[in-house]
Structure 1
Amino acid sequence: MALQFEDNFQRKFYYLRLSLTDVCNFKCTYCLPDGYQAGKERPCFLSLPEIRRVVQAFALCGTTKVRLTGGEPSLRRDFTEIIRQVAATPGIEKVAMTTNGFRMEKSVAQWQQAGLTNINVSLDSLDPRMFHQITGENKFDQVMRGIERALEVGFTQVKVNAVLLKGQNDHQLPAFLEWIKHRPVQLRFIELMQTGAMDHYFDRYHSSGQVLCRALQEQGWQRKVRASNDGPAKVFWHPDYQGEIGLIMPYEDGFCETCNRLRVSATGKLHLCLFGESGVDLRDLLQQDNQQAALMARIQSGLGQKASGHFLHQGDTGATPHLASIGG
């Protein structure tokens, strides 16, 4: 390993979130309520060789986990080949994806064969009508079949993401707990995060994850130890449940102290924080194999600008217009 990516606060980065596209076919109220807007010129997303080069650079500098995100990553026609290429990169131990689940039933076995090791599925409600209301798509049954299919083909655990929304799904904890009692599902409640385009929505629907945290602890749920390349969730387990609960609470004090992940957008920009600056352009160094040393140096130089934390408490959401823009 040539060097270890590290910032000025001695945080090391084992985890890359790589966006493959900002296109999504769902219209979730907290992200793209009006659907994907392409603009005048459709962006040119990273090619397979560019993806190979950026993943190799991160792997040489200590990254062991890559998460393929979007938008909806499975909208890429070459998605399976991207999985295969990332999984073949020396040093990469986990290849994960985050998906809305609409293609899982059909394709998850193929993805696993290509090298996918971990899968996260968005499922904001167990009520089909509320699911439709939140996502803008009447695909609840299709997504649920996809989750079951992932377990059938051998994924030992599926992570399910639910954005916590006041008055819409924040009362559904008992139903979710019943659902995971006999399933190897880690259900992750994610606090709604403010973005530039969603100020009023945030004011109306934000609910603190601390309420759920207290409820879980009162019911005997216990914290798990966090691995070096795990995401930001606080994970709880209970002896009576096969499934687990994760809580992602970005407004909690100290949330950024254990940050271990960096983001690269679908157009090749390094983002030091989900709620940060406009990004460090890497694409000019992704055109040839002989630019790897310069690429690693630029990433490490960029880390010198990484702040100790986000500024969400001050209402500063940075340059992020919506979560699909750099992979959430």
Structure 2
Amino acid sequence: MLLDNHGRKINYLRLAVTDRCNLRCFYCMPEEGLDWLSRKELMTYEEMLAACTVLVRMGIEKIRITGGEPFVRKDIMKLLTALSKLDGLKDLSITTNGVLTAPHVADLKKIGVRSVNLSLDTLDANRFFAITRRDEFANVMDTMHELLNHDVEVKINTVVMAGKNTEDIIPLVKLTRNLPVVVRFIEEMPFNGDGHGYSGIVWDYVRIFDEIRQVFPDITKVPDPMHSTAYNYQIPGHQGSVGIIAAYSRTFCGTCNRIRITPQGTLKNCLYDNGVLNIKDLMREGIGEVELKGTLLAAFNSREKDGWAAESKRAENPDFRESMATIGG
């Protein structure tokens, strides 16, 4: 078992395979995009597989592939297939915006992917275009239905933003009535790619829940799975369920079991830290597995207590000029 300096189990890796994305969601990056990483700056698939092999041997049991948008990277299924064969890995999952995903669903099912997080901030095509700056709503919905048709668990991730999509909260909850989906509402975070005037959360997890309860007063709290980042709820008679993630309020840090690797190989012990070491650079310098394990263990034994402590020690980018696309969600 892999433990950090606070006695928390670490068994979950979020691996970002690219910083590129085919959407331009305003809360994630500027309309013109970011200064994309060059091919040389990105971890190769071979480096990713090697790093994941070491981490699984150390105790990582779940890997979630993120981006950017994973399916914009060429031959992503080759990496996914290789990862699915790692001895000791119990759960391989993906977060995607769904634009390019539908044609791959059958293959994802074949290699054992049982759950997909689908980023979807609205059920209105016009608002989708306003938020993402792209006309791809139909493709995303096709992906959702294709996943359900293949009995892949669908978790819809919705970032709640004042003045942008709060009117979508109830329609999304209603989606759970007849579909076996988990709709998860996420507090907006400050990683917007350009550091523009973020001054705190307007729609926090308490307000989101109150909005839902006004329409569904019989909504019931259900037990949260171990290490869950969401508060989970069920509405009587609904096939699906609802979750609320306090991503900015950071109420779940005490049970955090996850680490992150960015597309350029930076290990992050916390979403809000500034990165603790670069695995890609160490591998390219020729570090051996034993030494790499020791270096990783030292990093895990220096984790901050929570996201607030991690944020307070950011040596660079204190105004969050990073994008979620470069962090990996």
Q: What residue is the counterpart of 2:256 in the other structure? A: 259
Structure 1 residues 200 and 284, CA, compared in 2 at 3 Å: closer, same or farther?
A: closer
The one-letter amino acid paired with 2:323 is H
Shift of 1:48: 2.3
CA distance in 2, matches of 1:26, 1:83: 22
Q: Which of 186, 201, 211 does residue 190 from structure 1 map onto?
A: 186
TM-score by length of 1: 0.89
Shift of 1:176: 1.2
Shift of 1:244: 1.0
Q: What residue is the counterpart of 1:322 in the other structure? A: 323
Map 1:192-231 → 2, pairs under 5 A: 192-195=188-191, 197=193, 199-200=195-196, 202-203=198-199, 206-216=202-212, 219-228=217-226, 230-231=227-228
Structure 1 residues 297 and 40, CA, compared in 2 at 3 Å: closer, same or farther?
A: closer
SS at match of 2:253: coil
TM-score by length of 2: 0.89
Shift of 1:158: 0.2
Contact 1:192–1:202 under 8 Å retained in 2: no
Q: What residue is the counterpart of 1:131 in the other structure? A: 128
Structure 1 residues 77 and 114, CA, compared in 2 at 3 Å: closer, same or farther?
A: farther
SS at match of 2:159: strand
Contact 1:285–1:294 under 8 Å retained in 2: no
Q: Percent of pairs identical after alignment?
A: 27
The one-letter amino acid paired with 2:328 is G
SS at match of 2:190: coil
Write the deviation string for residues 69-96 of structure 1: whole angstroms up to 9, x where unpaired.
Answer: 0001111212111111111111111111
Structure 1 residues 312 and 179, CA, compared in 2 at 3 Å: closer, same or farther?
A: farther
Structure 1 residues 82 and 174, CA, compared in 2 at 3 Å: closer, same or farther?
A: same
Q: Which of 6, 15, 18 does residue 21 from structure 1 map onto?
A: 18
Contact 2:222–2:234 under 8 Å retained in 1: yes
Q: What residue is the counterpart of 1:165 in the other structure? A: 161
Contact 2:53–2:86 under 8 Å retained in 1: yes
CA distance in 2, matches of 1:273, 1:163: 19
Contact 1:195–1:322 under 8 Å retained in 2: yes
Contact 1:83–1:116 under 8 Å retained in 2: no
Shift of 1:17: 0.2
CA distance in 2, matches of 1:131, 1:100: 12
Map 1:92-131 → 2, pairs under 5 A: 92-131=89-128
Structure 1 residues 277 and 240, CA, compared in 2 at 3 Å: closer, same or farther?
A: same
Shift of 1:274: 0.9
Contact 1:13–1:260 under 8 Å retained in 2: yes
CA distance in 2, matches of 1:205, 1:43: 37
Matched, 1:274 2:275: no
Write the deviation string for residues 108-134 of structure 1: whole angstroms up to 9, x where unpaired.
Answer: 112222332210111100111001000
Shift of 1:54: 1.3
CA distance in 2, matches of 1:195, 1:133: 19
CA distance in 2, matches of 1:33, 1:280: 27
SS at match of 1:121: strand
Write the deviation string for residues 247-297 of structure 1: whole angstroms up to 9, x where unpaired.
Answer: 111343643111110001112111111110233111244459982222221
Shift of 1:42: 5.0
SS at match of 2:274: coil
Shift of 1:198: 5.2
CA distance in 2, matches of 1:232, 1:98: 15
Shift of 1:40: 8.4
SS at match of 1:172: helix
Matched, 1:63 2:64: no
Contact 2:29–2:192 under 8 Å retained in 1: no
CA distance in 1, matches of 2:84, 2:308: 35
Moved more, 10-19 or 276-285: 276-285
